[in-house]
Amino acid sequence: MPRTLSPDVLEQKGKDYNRPVELYRIELDEETLYYAMYPENIEFFDENGSAQTYYAAGISRDSIKKNNQTSPNSTTVTFDNVIRNFSAFVANTEFVGRKVTIWKVFLDANREVINLAKMGMGPEIEEVLEEGAGLEYNNSYIEIFTNGIIDSISIDEYNLTATIVSNLDALDVELPSETYQVNCRFEFGKKACGKIIPKRLGVVTGIINEEDYQKITYNEGSNDAENYWKNGSIEIGTEDRIITASGKGYVKVEYPFFGAEINDNYEVKAGCDYSYDGEHGCEFWENTQFYGGFLEIPKIRNIREV
């Protein structure tokens, strides 16, 4: 059943002048990203109706190509990458195949107010355009693109461009998809892997921002081996980041936290590089009996040499 638009949205979308803002939600495995195509952060609601900050970002979008036959709907979205946040994020996070939703909201809305002074006749109700009132209710949005999937990405020092297509996989079925590959195909810590992920809880004591990384310090881990937590993740609040390096009492992440503060609780989890004998592979974790890759893949022989 189609969703009914709120009165605020219906009123604003028909006006000759309004202030629309597009909101973008990208659902990654580690966390969900919320961005606004606007020069300032937008306070609105998430998909569950909870209060959510959509962070200001330089975003542009092509028109949505709609096809009712066999091809999926599609669009191309470009994110500003001048500060290289996306470069660092993409290097450690799988974007292709992630779900994307685009909403349109209107900043303002009409509200009824009582004007005590009008005509000197006591209270009188009039309608005025109130700035920011369009963001007061969690149903005040238009769905621009729902159930979108990132089909491909390209990135340079200036922009990240993502092609988004609608999800045509309506049947929820599981099909065999094993492939011959050198790296282990089992997700670290899952049943097929056979390894329990090492974890640790603690409190953040410092946040240091450098040009190429952000350093999170804590009192725990004074005996940690160098890079023990590399390839793992650290979670602070609702944000999760991939760890690129670690040492005694600290970890480094390339993509900085937005809302982390000193004295926040954190949780670090170890990671795997899915190799057999690499820096953080099965040998490192003493888990070679559960290795899910192939030590060698036969090369294709040229039949003309036989």
DSSP per-residue letters across 228-241? TTTTSEEEETTEEE
CA distances from 66 to 35, 70, 145, 207, 231 (A): 24, 11, 11, 45, 40
- Cα-Cα-Cα-Cα dihedral sign, residues 192, 193, 195, 196: negative
pLDDT tens digits, 227-249 = 999 999 999 998 989 999 999 99
- Average pLDDT of the residues in 61-86: 75
- Average pLDDT of the residues in 121-141: 78
Q: Is 13 helix (H, G, I), strand (E, B) or coil?
A: helix
**Contact 272/255 with Cβ under 8 angstroms?**
no
* pLDDT, mean over the chain: 82
Q: Please state the domain extents for the chain.
A: 7-166, 199-271
pLDDT score of 169? 46
pLDDT tens digits, 31-55 = 899 999 999 999 999 998 899 999 9
- Greatest C-alpha distance within the chain: 104
Check if CATH label 2.40.160 holds for domain 199-271: no
What lies within 8 Å, CB to CB, of 187 at 6+ separation is 193
pLDDT score of 14? 73
